[in-house]
Structure 1
Amino acid sequence: MTQTTLETNRLLLRPIDPEKDFEAWADCFADKSTMTYIGGGPGYNRAQSWRSMATAIGHQQIRGYSFFSVIEKSSNEWVGRVGPWYPEEWPEPEIGWTIHRNHWRKGFAKEAAAACIDYAFETLGWDRIIHTIQDGNIASMKTAEALGSKRDYSLKGIPAITDELCWVYAQNRADWEARKGV
């Protein structure tokens, strides 16, 4: 299986490496503020964080793509996980993101997600992408809109994540390409 790596001006998006990434991953997913809108309640303990990492790695094995570990080039710090995601019972193929609290408000989610949208359209051959966002997650809604996605429909929860109201932001390949001037 090919191990894809993507690069932006500030970021390296590489396959998840449990040995290099787990401590930062566990710290990220233990944070209550980070987990408020992604089904983690008060935050994950180490065992739950390990299982979430294993799930992302398993998704790569099953689908051939998954979240990337996002690394800031200048510091070599783990920033978060961003990437293509389409587990069982998900509404449509998604580009999702979770950014470590230490790296909020730096534009990393948008930068990494844009690289992943290019990858999804150009390499994976998707014609449409979504972002599923729990109601109230204003930061992710603004990121989705900054990427050019528009609120498309609502969901009463996301399977195995939350029963709360969620919004699906979406865009198709033609809109993305027109926005980029392709």
Structure 2
Amino acid sequence: MSPPTIETERLILRGIQEADLDGWAELMGDPDSARFIGGVMKRAGAWRSMAAFAGSWSLKGFGMFSVVEKSTGRWIGRLGPWQPEGWPGTEVGWSLLKSAWGRGYAAEGATAAIDWAFDNLGWSEVIHVIDVDNAPSIALAERLGSTDLGPCALPPPLDKYNVHAWGQSRDQWLARQAATSA
């Protein structure tokens, strides 16, 4: 499956392109941005990581999107559905450049990605795998209506992280969306 393009008020979620490498390398090269997503890596490692995320679309029929800021056309991160081998569930995750933090972009993009995953992938639940020390992502998961489902294990080499799964069912998501739009 080819990635669709999803537009929100301020964002474009689209397939990963090789032209995204500069932004991807910036994301993975910054200790604060990369802290909870596998750690800092050099540009060549960032390219391989980007290729793995892009390849998920061919292998699984879904994957993370590149996040582009509409007003500038700037690549600002990656987010969307993710479930590599050994993953603890059907995740919608997010990682944005530090310069894009605090603007509500992660919530806006994650909402669109969760809607897309439930509508197009037939998922019955969505999780967010979050390090217990990642307070901003925990706050976002709560804002999205997810609850702490407890500790979960990641496959090696990520098994060293102390993570919890935050999540909700499709029915919970739809009920919350209906209540907020009423």
* TM exceeding 0.5: yes
Q: Secondary structure at the match of 2:162?
A: strand
Per the alignment, residue 174 of structure 2 pairs with 177
Q: Which residue is equivalent to 2:129?
A: 132
Q: How many residues align?
A: 179
Counterpart contact for 2:2–2:57, Cα < 8 Å: no
Structure-1 separation of matches of 2:34 and 2:73 = 24
Matches within 5 A, 1:27-42: 27-40=26-39
**Structure-2 residue corresponding to 1:12:** 12
Q: 2:143 aligns with which of 143, 146, 163?
A: 146
Q: Write the distance in 2 (CA, Å) between the matches of 1:2 and 1:168.
A: 28
Displacement of 1:39: 1.8
Q: Compared with structure 1, are the counterparts of its residues 65 and 157 closer, same or farther at alpha carbon in structure 2 (3 Å cutoff)? A: closer
In structure 1, the residue matched to 2:20 is: 21
Distance in 2 of aligned mates of 1:171 and 1:21: 31
Q: Following TM superposition, by how much is the alpha carbon of 1:87 offset from its aligned partner in structure 2, in angstroms?
A: 0.5
Instruction: Tell me, in whole angstroms, the C-alpha distance in 2 between the residues paired with 1:99 and 1:162.
Output: 22
Q: Does 1:87 align with 2:84?
A: yes
Q: Which of 98, 114, 119 is matched with 2:116 structurally?
A: 119
Provide structure 2 residue ranges, at least 5 long, that are not aligned to the other structure.
none
Q: Residues 100 and 66 (structure 1 numbering): CA distance in 2 closer, same or farther, change over 3 Å?
A: same
* Aligned partner of residue 84 in structure 1, secondary structure: strand
CA distance in 1, matches of 2:104, 2:60: 28
Summarize deviations over 1:48-87 as a string: whole Å, max 9, x none: 1011101101111100110100001001111100010010
TM (norm. structure 2) is: 0.94
Decide whether the 8 Å contact of 1:90 with 1:159 is kept in 2: no
- In 2, Cα distance between the equivalents of 1:147 and 1:159? 28
Secondary structure of 2:161's aligned partner? strand
Check conservation: 2:88, 2:153, Cα contact below 8 A.
Answer: no
Greater helix proportion: 2
Looking at structure 1, the residues matched to 154 and 61 of structure 2 have their Cα atoms a distance apart, in angstroms, of 26
C-alpha distance 158-151 of structure 1, shift in aligned 2 (>3 A): farther
Contact 1:10-1:72 within 8 A present in 2 as well: yes
